[in-house]
Amino acid sequence: MYAVPPQRQSFNSTATDETAASLRTYETWKGSNVFLLQGRFIFGPDARSLFLTMFLIAAPVTVFCVFVAKKLMDNFPHHYGILVMVVVVVFTLLDLVFLLMTSGRDPGIVPRNAHPPEPESCDDSSEVGTPRLRLPRVKEVLVNGVTVKIKYCETCMLYRPPRCSHCSICNNCVERFDHHCPWVGQCIGVRNYRFFFMFVSSSTLLCMYVFGFCWVNIIKIMDSENKSIWKAMFKTPASMALIIYSFIAVWFVGGLTVFHLYLISTNQSTYENFRNRYERKENPYDRGVIRNFKEIFWTSIPPSKNKFRAKVPKQLEILPHLSGGFSGAYVEKHIVDMEMGRKPGWHNSAFNENELEGPFSSDESHYKDAEFDNTSPAPDLSSNFDTGSAEVLATLQPRRSSWGRRSGSWNLPSEVLSTASQVGDSNRVSGVNAGNLTSDSR
């Protein structure tokens, strides 16, 4: 499996940018998924549990083939006994194929936005400056004539489609999110729910098959050797162990199969059912039992919205604000910059490395784990401010940026805002917004 390796941080990104341009989507993936065969298979972060599930299926079937099916092959006329071995092997292979198709494919991940959508409302709670644009947390859409609320996902920076939810384990928004199954190590969504149900139902049939033919083996021993049922059971301990094992397992996978049959017939997901989503209101997706089953089993699976092997392009991105709003400045950078662990650099034309001194220098030695060194020289802004403005600069407090470094923005006390707006070069200091003086070049 493939996990994105940590990269060394560096400001010299000439060679790194050339490498980043050839990176593919799965190498810069922001979710918690792991990939196999260069992005051809996608798994959840708990994909190791898949090996445990495969062992719990293959181990008892192997015991059944060696100690039970092999003996039953000679106990049926016309060589029909060989079908006992063939059927169990085919059942097992189908069960494992459904398991891999559930676990190793895109469950319906909604691609993240590079920047938030355009805001539709303003936050007038700011004391100073222009109001900050904010995004509504909830929107209402019509689905089959019924009003459905959709929420804004701050992680993926998008409004989730109806029936979509964000999985906290995989860190992705998944269409028609059902649940995250730890036994298959993957989310269950619109693109793999069909295979998940086939995996669960085939596991149930496999347990019933093994359970039934183990009893057939015991009955054959009773008839051939004229023994009681207890003596026959002790004569074949493998059959006894498999009967106990399959009896316990069938309650789990069988109960899960019955539960999902109910969900399919009512067109619900596990997530919606556990939250009692349609207990007091109409289910807009329920179209009747027959149509509900057709929707799951007789409709084409939608194609994946992600091209995991596509090369990552360079584009503009907006940094989201922690409180739900966002700053209005565009920051030019590769999508892969943050994923590669690269430190953010200024792309503003009014700034260059020669103009920044002290803790604002691009030299990594000036960073003290997001704390300023008291011995470091203060930034030399005397060319832009007069003597009176030095007192204003003394009150400036550096603000922590969203990636843990110091940014070029300071919190200003309200009493010095009027003074700060009148000193210095207006072309170099601008953008007073909500009590912040931001060093942003226009």
Convert the pLDDT of each residue in 410-435 to its tens digit.
444 555 445 444 544 444 433 334 33
75-114 burial code (b ≥16 CB/10 A, e <16): eeeeeebeebbeebeebbeebbebbbbbbbbbbbbbebee
Residue 185's pLDDT is 94
Q: How is the chain split among helix, strand and coil, in percent rounded to 5?
A: 40, 15, 45
State how far the Cα of 340 lies from the Cα of 343, in Å rounded to an integer: 9
What's the rounded Cα separation, in Å, for the pair 151 and 307? 25
Q: What is the mean pLDDT of the chain?
A: 74
The band of 75, judged by pLDDT with boundaries at 50, 70 and 90, is: confident
Confidence of residue 208 (pLDDT cuts 50, 70, 90): very high
Highest mean pLDDT among 92-106, 374-388, 399-413: 92-106
pLDDT at 132: 59
Token duo for residue 413: 């006390």
By DSSP bridging, strand 41-43 and strand 121-123 are unpaired
pLDDT at 352 (0 to 100):
42
Q: Express each pLDDT in 97-142 by its tens digit.
A: 999 999 999 999 999 998 888 776 555 554 555 555 667 888 888 8
Output the pLDDT for position 279: 83
Give phi and psi for 264, each to the nearest 5: -65, -40
Q: Is the per-residue pLDDT at 406 higher than 60?
A: no
pTM of the model: 0.67
* pLDDT band with cut points at 50, 70 and 90 for residue 252: very high
Q: Give residue 394's pLDDT.
A: 46
- Which residues are tagged catalytic? 181
Could you report the per-residue pLDDT of 19-53, keeping only the tens digit for each?
A: 545 788 889 899 999 999 989 999 999 999 999 99
Identify which of 3-12, 185-194, 336-345, 352-361 has the greatest average pLDDT.
185-194
Which sign does the torsion angle of CA 115, 118, 120, 122 carry? positive
Read off the amino acid at residue 383. Answer: S
What is the spatial distance between Cα 38 and Cα 29, in angstroms, rounded to a whole number? 12
Of the listed ranges 14-18, 99-103, 258-262, 390-394, the least confidently predicted one is 390-394
Comparing C-alpha atoms, which of 327, 335, 299, 340 is closest to residue 439?
Answer: 327
Q: Give how far Cα 31 sits from Cα of 99, 155, 166, 217, Å.
A: 22, 10, 11, 50
